[in-house]
Amino acid sequence: MRRNTMPNYDFDIGILGGGAAGLTVASGAAQLGAKTLLVEKENELGGDCLHSGCVPSKTLIRTAHVYHFMKNSTAFGLPAVELPPVDYREVRKRIHSVISTIQKHDSEERFCSLGVKVEIGSPTFSDEHTVLLNGNKYSAKNWVIATGSSPDIPTIDGLHKTPCITNKDIFSLDHLPKSMIILGAGPISVEMAQAFGRLGTKVIVIQRSGQILSKEDKDMADGVMNVMISEGVLFYLNTSVIRTNDLGAEKEVVIKNLDGKEMRLKAEAILVAMGRSPNIEGLGLENIRVEFDRKGVMVDNRLRTTQKHIYAAGDITGKYQFTHAAGYEGGIVLGNAIFHVPRKTDYTFLPWCTYTDPELASIGMNEKAAKAAGIEYSVWTEEFKENDRSLAEGEIVGKIKMLLDEKEKPLGVQILGPQAGELLNEWVAVLNGKVKLSSLASAVHPYPTLGEINKKVAGTYFSPKIFSGKVKKGLKFFFHLKGRACELRENGVIGEKPWK
Ligand SMILES: Cc1cc2nc3c(=O)[nH]c(=O)nc-3n(C[C@H](O)[C@H](O)[C@H](O)COP(=O)(O)OP(=O)(O)OC[C@H]3O[C@@H](n4cnc5c(N)ncnc54)[C@H](O)[C@@H]3O)c2cc1C
């Protein structure tokens, strides 16, 4: 008789962290028949995206957008509106009502109905298959670390003694700050800077490098910054923060520019948005030889940690810190851990968007990335001010940039403009589906839509070829076309060409 020597674990898979990555793995694994444990530290599932990230920030941005529209009613041919100041408690109420609506989808009851056992608490690995939690031991064949990230509080003189806020607090403030200094100019910072600025806060953004949104091409990032400057947001670029001081009702930030000149800025609130650090503390990874560094847990391209049966997905890996990246990685983990089909990550066409107004969306390589990779490229652009719908909407700032490689294959697309994130979705399909540019350029798009800009930029690549002198000559030769019927003279007068 053969003995079954397989170790008998409590669960097929155990997941630490109930955010975008963890919930994707948990629901998928349970629905595929795996006995699944999900451990979450907080009392509610949903993670950063739902409680202090994407959902509250996009809700706040929408509220600020409406208030901004009201203030600018005359630009739309409407009467001027006398507006009372914003009551942030009402804004907060709206934010939390959106969160609680979505929360139902991420409730413990729903996950239990899918077959997932949810435990609340702070787990620690006691060995590579077991965690200790609330005085109990839980073992699993595979584990997934999906504990996300937290705002990084850098070591700046005085910062730890100066009350400051992060994305954890900003959506629950009891009043709108009169003024705010934001440290850092990444996506979280600029989105919040514009939203709070529009609601009535005097906002200053401090950035160490020479541009905001430093991963983006400078021309596109500057487009966002210029709109924000026109709305009253102040930027200090090439500036480092020397120290902060708590002055009671006000907080002070001492900054230094490239010439070494110091300056003191004061505001009611300081928002720290200087990057993220991985939620590793207390997991006991050092006990089980799972390697990690300052950025996150190290993984291979199948998202396996240095213990092959322990995976990591989402912000904890320190790679692409987006909800859709976390969901994608959750799917990769499912493929590897449950289906046992080796699946590798591929971020070539991972899109993202910064939800400022105008939005800035990107897929594939931008000029910065292509230059860094030493790839030859050409750039094709179209401006929103040439798009009829943009003009009708009164949203004319921005452009689309399409990068082609030497073989004229698309490397990437960036869109700065109204609803750029939505417009990018057509490129998600085109690039992932390897659709020919000629198909996009010849496909009929409804008029008047912003999306016509996608078709048009693809068309700009073909038009010099179609309308070339060579083609014209050929047509003239074969079909005896007679050529121009009108000529605009140098002085702008319309005149007849003395044609033959
Ligand atoms: C202000 C802001 C705006 C954002 N806007 C966008 C956006 O518009 N679009 C976008 O794609 N992304 C956005 N993001 C990023 C997005 O929120 C994250 O990339 C996403 O939440 C990552 O998912 P995750 O599952 O890795 O981590 P999380 O969603 O943070 O989930 C991790 C979970 O693990 C739990 N946890 C932590 N430690 C432990 C522990 N020791 N034990 C058990 N559980 C633990 C946490 O409580 C949390 O529930 C934004 C982020 C912020 C801060």
Most informative mutation of 323, 354, 355, 422 for ligand 1 (most atoms within 8 A of CB): 323
Q: How much is the CA Rg of the chain, to the nearest whole Å?
A: 27
- % of the chain beyond a pLDDT of 70: 98
Angle between helical axes of 187-199 and 54-71 (0-180°, round to 10): 40
For ligand 1, atom 6, name the residue with the nearest CA: 54
Angle between helical axes of 218-230 and 187-199 (0-180°, round to 10): 20
Q: What tokens were used for 143? A: 């584990």
Report the C-alpha gap between 218 and 212 in whole angstroms. 8
Rounded alpha-carbon distances, angstroms, from residue 83 to 41, 69, 71, 73, 410: 42, 11, 7, 11, 47
Q: Which protein residues touch ligand 1 with a CB less than 6 Å away? A: 16-22, 39-42, 47-49, 53-54, 57-58, 122-123, 146-148, 167, 188, 279, 282-283, 314-316, 321-324, 326, 355
Most informative mutation of 15, 27, 43, 48 for ligand 1 (most atoms within 8 A of CB): 48
Report the C-alpha gap between 205 and 89 in whole angstroms. 24
For ligand 1, atom 3, name the residue with the nearest CA: 53
Angle at 7 between CA 5 and CA 13, to 5 degrees: 140
Spatial strand order of the sheet with 262-267 comes to 239-246, 251-257, 262-267
For ligand 1, atom 38, name the residue with the nearest CA: 147
Per-residue model confidence as pLDDT tens digits over 285-297: 999 999 999 999 9
pLDDT at 462: 87
Distance 57 CA to ligand 1 centre (A): 13
**Long-range contacts of residues 407-413, Cβ cutoff 8 Å, at least 24 apart:** 408/378, 408/437, 408/461, 410/364, 410/437, 411/364, 411/365, 411/370, 411/375, 411/377, 412/362, 412/363, 412/364, 412/365, 412/366, 412/369, 412/370, 413/362, 413/363, 413/364, 413/457
Q: What is the dihedral of CA 136, 138, 143, 148, to 10 degrees?
A: -20
Per-residue model confidence as pLDDT tens digits over 59-112: 999 999 999 999 999 999 999 999 999 999 999 999 999 999 999 999 999 999
Does the pTM surpass 0.85? The reply is yes
Kindly tell me the sign of the dihedral angle through the C-alpha atoms of 260, 261, 263, 269: negative
Phi-psi region of 454 (alpha: psi -120 to 50; beta: other; left: phi over 0): alpha
Most informative mutation of 40, 42, 52, 54 for ligand 1 (most atoms within 8 A of CB): 54
**Long-range contacts of residues 215-221, Cβ cutoff 8 Å, at least 24 apart:** 215/368, 216/354, 216/360, 216/362, 216/366, 216/368, 216/414, 217/366, 217/367, 217/368, 217/401, 217/414, 220/360, 220/366, 220/401, 220/414, 220/416, 221/360
Of residues 500 and 335, more confidently modeled:
335
pLDDT beyond 50 at 218: yes
The residue written with tokens 């417009």 in the block is 423
Per-residue model confidence as pLDDT tens digits over 451-499: 999 999 999 988 888 888 888 889 999 999 988 888 888 777 787 655 4
pLDDT at 500: 46
Q: Which atom of ligand 1 is nearest to the CA of 279?
A: 38
Amino acid 144 reads V
Q: Which atom of ligand 1 is nearest to the CA of 54?
A: 5
Distance 286 CA to ligand 1 centre (A): 23
pLDDT band at 130 (very low <50, low <70, confident <90, very high): very high
